[in-house]
């Protein structure tokens, strides 16, 4: 089962997730989330398959999120509008995102990775 691993190499959480995947010998394709952010349609697909609300895809601790007052902007935004905002800047996206085309995880929790990717 080949995974797609959206990550930012300078992100500590992403490094932990990458190490976990490597330690389990799991095959994945890594995509630099800032250089190649998912498109609006890709994000809509990821949001739908994750079962999570679109707001969970925002990197709420990020500088751009705070400085751009994104919390207020997305308060009443539709999922489609949120996907458009996310697609505009990879730094706004919570990471890592891992998918096999059917399932999606956002962020890194070892227990979740064990449940979903082992």
CATH code of residue 25: 3.40.30.10
pLDDT tier at 8 (50, 70, 90 boundaries)?
A: very high
- pLDDT, tens digit (0-9, with 9 covering 90-100), for 39-69: 999 999 999 999 999 999 999 999 999 999 9
Q: How many CA atoms lie within 13 A of 76 on its CB side?
A: 0
Domain with 94 in it? 3-117
pLDDT for 73 equals 95
- DSSP result, 2-54: -EEEEE-TT-HHHHHHHHHHHHTT--EEEEETTTSPPPHHHHHHHHHHHTS-G
Whole-angstrom distance, CA of residue 105 vs CA of residue 76: 24
pLDDT at 80 over 80: yes
Of the pLDDT bands very low, low, confident and very high (cuts 50, 70, 90), residue 116 is very high
Return d(Cα 53, Cα 26) in angstroms, integer: 27
Q: How many structural domains is the chain composed of?
A: 1
Residue 88 predicted with pLDDT over 90:
yes
Mean pLDDT of 81-103: 97
pLDDT score for 2: 86
Model's pTM, two decimal places? 0.95
């Amino acid at each position: 089962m080949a995974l797609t691993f959206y990550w930012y190499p300078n992100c500590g959480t992403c490094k932990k997730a990458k190490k976990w995947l490597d330690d389990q010998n799991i095959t994945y394709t890594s995509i630099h989330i800032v250089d190649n952010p998912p498109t609006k349609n890709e994000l809509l697909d990821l949001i739908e398959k994750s079962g999570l609300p679109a707001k969970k895809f925002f990197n709420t601790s990020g500088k751009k999120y705070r400085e751009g007052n994104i919390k207020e902007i997305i308060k009443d935004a539709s999922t489609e509008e949120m996907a458009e905002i996310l697609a505009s800047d990879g730094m706004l996206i919570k990471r890592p995102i891992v998918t096999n085309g059917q399932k999606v995880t956002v962020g890194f929790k070892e227990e979740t990775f064990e449940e979903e990717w082992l």
